[in-house]
Structure formats: structure tokens, C-alpha cells
Amino acid sequence: SIDILKKQIEKCNNIVFLGGAGVSTESNIPDFRSSDGLYKKKNYPYSPEYMLSHTFFVNHTEEFFEFYKNNLVYKDAKPNKAHIALSGLEKMGKLKAVITQNIDGLHQMAGTKNVLELHGSIHRNYCMNCNKYYSLEFILESQGIPRCERCGGIVRPDVVLYEEMLDTSILERSIQYISNAKILIVGGTSLNVYPAAGLISYFRGYPLVLINKEKTAFDNRADFIFREKIGEVLSKLI
Ligand code: NAD
């Protein structure tokens, strides 16, 4: 099936990619739900969902930052074959957008220009009081709760925590790209997190390609399914 799909990709110039944490596991960033994912770690008193929630951030801010810095930030991670293949597809003018649930910035590091970050980015941080912008390094170098140098407000990452709303303009643009796409490639995501997973419903083209090591709730809708490493599959395809 990889050869059939390859021919369709060669003919198509309106492809969209929708991905998640599994895209970055080959860069040694653990995902959430694999057997060695963050949700299987047992050395914290609360569930990762709770420790990454708005409620936890507000009530246990210092513990939030400790958990966040130790489990979601991999500052030395580099793009892998999947990020590089997608960036190549964009350079050929075939890939219109990468829509990602990831917050690691690796698609941009691989050279992809049109990246829609549904859940924000570890690389953008801002003072909750005066909006001053801060780098990832500032967060990593801060002891305890990061504080604004200008006004003393809390500096938080521009990432979407559980219980928080997604940026509606990014969501609307994602819907537009997916509605207009001729081929949709979905990969490295368990499709458990909404509204990201629900975006697939807007796809009207053919084929829907799913690349994921484990089964997902959307498998029955896919035209092609690859249960292999996404870096391997994408570099063979592109
Ligand atoms: P998830 O952990 O729920 O699912 C990841 C899926 O990817 C799993 O089904 C797994 O089988 C598959 N997978 C793992 N490695 C793979 C590989 N090499 N090739 C093919 N498939 C592979 O992740 P999700 O669906 O993205 O949702 C969880 C949330 O996790 C998202 O909101 C995201 O923001 C956040 N997250 C992001 C990062 C990151 O930025 N790199 C890392 C961890 C979690």
C-alpha cells in the first residue's frame, strides 16, 4: 500500500498533516499514552492530567513548574525523520499545513513554515500580569515560580492546560485547512484529546491516512493504516 499511496502523494498538491506526541518519540520525547509514556510514570502523587490542569497550576504553582520542567521540556531534542520528511513535502509545495498537538517546536526547527500549534509552545512564555515575553531559557533558569523582571507577575508557558480553551483562530484555521485538503495524513496521536481529534470529521477528501503504532478510535474511517514508526513511514513515502 505504500507504493499506491506514494503515487497519490506525487499527484497531489493539497496535503495536510495532523499529528501528536508520537511524532516526537523518535526525538526521545516521551508521549503520554504509550507503554513508556508519561501517564505510566508512577512517581507523582497526582495524575499527569491533574498536574497539567489549570486548577493545579493555580493552586500548586511551584509543583506545576517542577513537573512541567521535568516532564514536558526537552530542550536538547532535535527533529527526527518524520519532521524532516514533512518539511521536505512543504518545500515541494504539496503540504499546506502541519497541525500539531505538540508543544516542542520541532516542526519549525526542521524548517516547516506553516505550523499550527493547537496546544501552544514551550518556546513562548509570558507574564500573566503585564504580558512581557520570555524565552524557554528564562523558565528553565528560574528557581521555583518564574517571576516577571518588570512587574513581578507569574511568567507562564503559552501552552494549553487541561480545562483551558484552545485559541479559536488556530482552531478555525485548522478546520479550514482540513476541510479543503485532498489528502489528510494523521500520525503519532492516540486521538484521545478533543477538540484536536474531532478535526478529522471536517475532512472531505481521499484518502485519509493514519500512521500510529497503536489502534485508535478512528481506524475504521481510515483508507490507509500504517502501524509502524512514523519516521520510517514518512521517509519512505516522501
Ligand atoms: P498520546 O500520547 O495520547 O498518543 C501518542 C500516540 O502515538 C500513541 O497512540 C502511540 O502509539 C503513538 N506513537 C508513539 N510513538 C510513535 C511512533 N514513533 N510512530 C508512530 N506512532 C507512535 O499523544 P497525543 O495524541 O498527542 O495527545 C496527548 C497530548 O500530549 C497532546 O495534547 C500533546 O500536547 C501532549 N504532548 C506533547 C508532547 C510534545 O510536544 N512532544 C509530548 C507529550 C505530550
The string of pLDDT tens digits covering residues 119-128 is 999 999 999 9
168 annotated to bind ligand: no
What mean pLDDT do residues 147-162 have? Answer: 98
Query: How are beta strands 115-117 and 224-226 bridged, if at all?
Result: unpaired
Judge whether 37 lies within some domain.
no
Judge whether 18 lies within some domain.
yes
Give the C-alpha separation, 224 to 61, whole Å: 44
What is the per-residue pLDDT for 214? 95
Rounded to a whole number of angstroms, the distance between the first and last alpha carbons of the chain is 14
DSSP H or E run through 72: none
- The answer to whether the CB of 108 is under 6 A from ligand 1 is no
123 catalytic, yes or no? no
Domain holding 175, by residue range, is 1-29+79-119+166-238
pLDDT at 39 over 90: no
Share of the chain above pLDDT 90, in %: 91
What is the per-residue pLDDT for 92? 97
147 annotated to bind ligand: no
Say which CATH number the domain at 213 has: 3.40.50.1220
Domain count, the chain: 1
DSSP H or E run through 237: helix 230-237
pTM: 0.97
Task: Identify which of 185, 174, 194 has the alpha carbon closest to the alpha carbon of residue 212.
Answer: 185
Judge whether 50 lies within some domain.
no
Query: How are beta strands 120-127 and 133-134 bridged, if at all?
Result: antiparallel
What mean pLDDT do residues 12-27 have? Answer: 98
Q: How would residue 43 be classed by pLDDT, with cut points 50, 70 and 90?
A: confident
Summary mean pLDDT of the chain? 96
Q: Which three cell numbers stand for residue 220?
A: 475504521
What is the per-residue pLDDT for 71? 94
Give the C-alpha separation, 125 to 1, whole Å: 43
- The answer to whether the CB of 100 is under 6 A from ligand 1 is no
* DSSP codes, 115-160: EEETTEEEEEEEETTT--EE-HHHHHH--SS-B-TTT-PBEEEEE-
1 annotated to bind ligand: no
Question: Interhelix angle for 230-237 vs 2-11, to 10°?
Answer: 60
- The answer to whether the CB of 26 is under 6 A from ligand 1 is yes
Q: How would residue 45 be classed by pLDDT, with cut points 50, 70 and 90?
A: confident
Span of 38-47, 75-84, 93-102, 150-159 with lowest mean pLDDT: 38-47
Between residues 81 and 44, the one the model is more confident about:
81
What is the per-residue pLDDT for 44? 84
What is the per-residue pLDDT for 35? 83
Judge whether 49 lies within some domain.
no
